[in-house]
Amino acid sequence: MASNAQTLPVARPTPETASILAIDLGSTTGWAIRNGRCRILHGTAEFRPTRFEGGGMRYLRFGNWLDQTLEVTGGIDAVYFEEVRRHIGTDAAHVFGGLLATLTSWCEGHGIPYQGVPVGTIKRFATGKGNADKKAMIAAVRERGFEPADDNEADAIAILLWALDTNGGVA
């Protein structure tokens, strides 16, 4: 039996319409998203386990948060995250590694391209100095018209702005 079905071309997002998620991974994760309507939303999400939870609960909650973000936005075309190469403490390194593994496996499972952005690159982009402190990052983001609640949110906004400035954010 012959089929009259046609294969329609898949519409790739353009840099102007791509939905981009930027994340500063941590127990308090900063996030910023530019949706398909070009609105930028930002905030923080808490993934610290409570007293009566196992340590793996933070990663389950983070995965659920990613699923909800994908559902609410209607789709994510690219994910950018702060790529931390050195941590002051062992616990922070373990948390970052677990969140990074959760994020990258989630992106792979959903076919979403992702890219890490070195800390110095983000700081240099936002402030002109690759070793800027937290206060300087917050001030730089505020100068661009945003009101971050903390340095995590400021970093996520800076990552998003960097991604938009670099190829329009489409990975």
Q: Which domains does the chain have, with CATH numbers?
A: 20-169 (3.30.420.10)
C-alpha closest to that of 58 among 104, 102, 106: 102
Q: Count CB-CB contacts under 10 A for residue 52.
A: 6
What is residue 98's predicted lDDT score, i.e. its pLDDT? Answer: 93
Residue 18: the pLDDT is: 84
Residues of the chain with pLDDT under 70: 1-17, 87, 89, 167-171
Q: First vs last Cα of the chain: how many Å apart?
A: 41
pTM here is 0.87
Of the candidates 100, 84, 115, 154, the one whose C-alpha atom is nearest the C-alpha of residue 20 is 115
DSSP letters, 5-50, are --PPPP-PPPTTT--EEEEE-SSEEEEEEE-TTS-EEEEEEE----
